[in-house]
Structure 1
């Protein structure tokens, strides 16, 4: 995944690190854009329009991604792979210029058949799960820990976290939300007790051309990096996969529309835009 992971756990068995790594390796083997033989990469080489059976973990993430896409009116798009490659954020590597993506903002469809755990794509689509797969990796490793009897832990993968149970001193797992480097607002401190948190930072990845910054967050409707003052979006959810995917979708929507949708979906979300902070009702309710 191009990142690191860390674990704090109460009385973990000796093989815990190997088990966590094995769970994360499953996500890479199935969902990486950068591994040519991953299930995702092989699917993207299959002829468009044909159904392709995929492993259960990949099917689960695709189904969740498509659900977020429907609920967000396309703000989350799992078929953006050709665009992310063209802009230098995919497996093809970085680019130093503005690509010509005329017409690429339409005709992208990923379909999922739950009965056969199969997926298919339209000619303009390529599967890209970079906005949700890392969060799923946290969940997969966390569920393995729980299944092996590790009840109290804080697991982090590339800045996405899930806390289960409590620390040895009886306190919850306290984490601070990473703030954008230009923000003057204070950081939130969150108690992760059987809860996950994911932050989509629009300032983290991008490139500059002619004095303009192009971020890695795409507006699926235009096929170009988003144009807004959103710096970061943080979402709390029981599942880290859902926190990750929703943080991506709300980043695309912007502060007002994003918080309105968070309220409609009962999501605990915080959007930082410029020097202003927008929080959803569910987030506000957790303050008490």
Structure 2
């Protein structure tokens, strides 16, 4: 039987939904794809909407993708020590939120781990054949760290060798941006998905909310049964130890790195899902909880009132941790 998470403020369907139809469209972005389902009003111009969405996502990539040599983040990462750099508004917004979660999580989420990400083969330079040496990890830790990043609101300061990596939050921000574009264009009832991260607004024509299932790793099922979340003004993001790995000498190293140790996490967490008001926050919180691990992560989720689902594999098999905020949605 499905477990269902429903926000308390879900509203009845509006008159605009009567007789409306749902359209689907999408495109490429951030190495994955984006997809939209939207309730189409009269006069809907698919080509215009699709172009506006793609332009918004292209702007996110141009600002925050380290895979783009000319992006704002790449220019900062390559800037000499002592350089100040002006930031576009969207970049400022994302970085401000990233630094907030870095501070609150005690550095479990850190937007300044670009050197570590590259060192382990998960960044733009490409895969590596073996784990890095202890000395290389120590050097990358010394060069990074969110607390080395000085900023004055509109500008950030390059202290020398610091590399930003916003992959733990930029995709979620992209989802939020697409949702905002659709709303401005009159498509107020919609579901947005980028690489498995979703945001829903409004309702479907039948009065049902946009449903999303809390994802389990391939080949596994949640011990308590599937969880369906009603994305009515909500977002959901999921991260797991199965998505990208480094394999060496029969050992698998997960792509989630602990910024405090410089090494992949080994906490037994198979997946983490977060439901939040914005996809940007859901994205960042998934990373933070994955780094904190089952025990500290559960305490953090409870203290921060985060609606989170943690799937843990230990000696007793699979078990799930449901935070109090998620349990309230399931009641």
Q: Same fold by TM (over 0.5)?
A: yes
| 2:39 is equivalent to residue 10 of structure 1 | yes
- Within 2, Cα distance between the matches of 1:182 and 1:130? 26
TM-superposed deviation, 1:218: 0.4
* Structure-2 residue corresponding to 1:105: 141
Greater Rg by CA: 2
Secondary structure of 2:70's aligned partner: coil
- Within 2, Cα distance between the matches of 1:51 and 1:265? 33
- Within 1, Cα distance between the matches of 2:32 and 2:248? 26
- Within 2, Cα distance between the matches of 1:25 and 1:201? 26
Distance of aligned partners of 1:184 and 1:99 in 2 relative to their CA distance in 1, 3 Å threshold? same
| 2:124 is equivalent to residue 91 of structure 1 | yes
- Within 1, Cα distance between the matches of 2:152 and 2:166? 17
- Within 2, Cα distance between the matches of 1:49 and 1:258? 36
- Runs of 4 or more consecutive aligned structure 1 residues displaced over 4 Å after TM superposition: none
Q: CA RMSD in A?
A: 1.3
TM-superposed deviation, 1:151: 0.8
Q: Which structure 2 residue ranges, 5 or more long, are not aligned?
A: 1-29
Aligned ranges 1:84-233 → 2 under 5 Å: 84-100=117-133, 101-103=136-138, 104-108=140-144, 109-114=148-153, 117-185=154-222, 186-233=225-272
TM-superposed deviation, 1:107: 4.6
Secondary structure of 1:10's aligned partner: strand
* Structure-1 residue corresponding to 2:324: 281
Q: Is the 8 A contact 2:115 2:143 kept in 1?
A: no
The alignment's TM-score, normalised by the length of structure 1, stands at 0.96
The alignment's TM-score, normalised by the length of structure 2, stands at 0.84
Pairing partner for 2:295 from 238, 242, 256: 256
User: How many residue pairs align between the two structures?
Assistant: 286
The answer to which structure, 1 or 2, has the higher relative contact order (CA under 8 A, 6+ apart) is 2
Q: Which structure 1 residue ranges, 5 or more long, are not aligned?
A: none
| Per-residue CA distance 1:111-135 (angstroms, 9 max, x = gap) | 3321xx1112333420000000000
